[in-house]
Chain A
Amino acid sequence: MKKNNWKAWLYLLPAMVFLGVFMVYPLIDVCIYSLEESYNFASQSYTGVGLYNFRYVLSDPYFVRALQNTFLIVAITVPLSTGLSLLIALGLSSIKPLRNAYQTIYFLPYVTNTLAVGLVFMILFKRTAYTDGLINLLIAKFGAGPVDFIEGPYWAKMFVMCFYTIWVVMPFKILILTSALASVNPDYYKAARVDGATSSRIFWKITLPMISPTVFYLIITGFIGAFKAYSDEVAIFGTNLNAAGMNTIVGYVYDMLYGDSGGYPSYAAAAALILFAIVFTITYINLTFSKNKVQYM
């Protein structure tokens, strides 16, 4: 068997080359970048080694704003989208007719271009010279004044942002939760019903514990995904997110790298490492928590 040794490496070679060049090397390189002070992109020279880049990023008001926005998006969209998906999945699993049709509709946002649909959301919420926009006309029906959701107050922009984010992430969660619910052994329900348990008791004592690993999986991936929010923001507010006050951490990284304020890979690297540290910590906390709380079967 040992004779196909070199052949095996030949099969692995393309993957290793690509991973080496575009993943392993960049990983080391990004750490180096983050430590090189006053790195100049054009001359590829730097003046010293130290933690200045991290200090700079952490005291940059744009970064602090981005950090705040990102945490808000995470704190609002993850619980809301997970909870709403769970309700919808429960609803789906308790009906028969039209179930497939609903599932198909709910999945549609997954296969659409977020940039493209974001434009539709912008138009629905935007006030122009010609019209207040559909959503504002709807709000007016309830007697509230028109709000500029795209260029207006911070909370209004954050609302649109979170609404769109939830709209985008729901398909995945509904799909995963529906299949988790379908895989719960129906015998448990039958037994509970024979014992005269109420529906809510069945949910809290049987359904939720049975699907808790899936729920936690979704919370963890939801956290990771929401911390990397960026494209959805661009879709609604355009590429100049700093001007809109709606930048995110990932957006800050890209702005530092490229764009109007770009050309600072060192700051970008420092910000990316800070993001990685945050995501890593939160995931670690989540995993520790789920080990204590989740019942794995």
Chain B
Amino acid sequence: MIERKNSRVSHALIYLFLTVWALIVLFPFYWMVLTSFKSFTAYNSEYIPKFITLQPTLENYRDAFTTVPLGRYFLNTLIFTVATTGLMMVVIVPAAFAFARLEFKGRNGMFALFLSLMMIPTELVIITNYVTIVNWNMRNTYLGLILPSVTSVFYIYLLKENFEAIPDELYKAAKVDGTSDLKYLLKVMVPISQPTIVTIIILKVIECWNSYVWPRLITYDANYYLVSNGIQEIRENGFGRENTPAMMAAVVVISVPLIILFLIFRKKIMAGVSRGGTKG
């Protein structure tokens, strides 16, 4: 009897603890949505901020798209994300296939070299990459933004492991039938490895959507800003600094796409991150 009571109390405490952290996580989201619906004057007249607003307004969202080129930042980020992710798949799928299925001299040595590159932090190579892109006159271009991030040794590794798990017999049978390597790769291996490929795509999309450092180095023309740089720009120059509600509207607009993506692919994203995520 005592034990049962004890466990009920401890369960209540666990729920309390978990709820407190959930509130800490959710509160900033609530606050940004709430503030984005408050009018400028209402917000500034609240010495003690109100936790609900009775006169929601969409004016801030209009401001976010008209006073600053938020739509432009959005489009840039979309182009950057799609192009980088697409190019990356074109680069890493054949590489993973070569390591997993094809036989050639120096395969193991080459693979070891690739793996050792995983240890190199971006911070170390970004200096020369910056100079390279400047020398190629690619500042303020999409190519300059995209090129340095189209390869990922880690994803080649992940995909190679996946390809290797596909039975060799399939490959041999295809060879007997006279199927070319490329056709086999595209018609058999890629469809079978679809879950891993989707995971890689999602992780890359999240990374691209949130990337800040490289775009900041490479773009100084607001026409090529991504959303992260746009936010920074808005914070420092846009909206006349004090217009917090409009800033929050911009923040909401920028956060929503990935949150929707997350809610749709929740299971896939969480499984993918626990397999191949970093950040933390």
Contacts and interface: CB of A to CB of B under 8 A. Distances in A.
Nearest to B128: A26
Contact of B117 (A24, A128, A250): A24
B259 A111 contact: yes
Contact of A95 (B14, B32, B47, B127): B14
Contacts of A104: 263, 266
B31, B148, B251, most chain A CB atoms within 10 A: B251
Contact of B31 (A112, A124, A168, A169): A124
Nearest to B212: A231
Q: Which of A131, A170, A218 has the most CB of B within 10 A?
A: A131
B18 A91 contact: yes
Given A9-B104, A18-B91, A106 B123 contact: no
Interface residues of B, number: 91
Interface in B74-116: 90-92, 94-95, 97-99, 102-105, 107, 110, 114
A105 B30 CA distance: 12
Given A167-B25, A228-B121, A272-B123, A95 B18 contact: yes
Nearest to A92: B18
B120 interface: yes
B47 A131 contact: yes
Label chain A's interface by main secondary structure: helix
A12 interface: yes
B278 A221 contact: yes
A130 B47 contact: yes
Contacts of A108: 25-26, 29, 259, 262
A123 B104 contact: no
Contacts of A175: 270, 273-274, 277
A119 B251 contact: yes
Interface stretch (A27-35, A58-66, A288-296): A27-35
Nearest to A124: B31
Interface of A: 1-2, 4-5, 7-9, 11-12, 14-16, 18-19, 21-27, 29-30, 33, 81, 84, 87-88, 91-92, 94-95, 98, 102-117, 119-121, 123-124, 128, 130-132, 134, 137, 167-173, 175-176, 179, 218, 221-222, 224-225, 228, 230-231, 234, 238-239, 250, 253-254, 257-258, 265, 268-269, 272-273, 275-276, 279
Given A95-B15, A106-B25, A231-B228, 10 more contacts: A15-B91, A18-B151, A108-B259, A115-B212, A128-B242, A130-B45, A179-B274, A221-B280, A258-B217, A275-B121
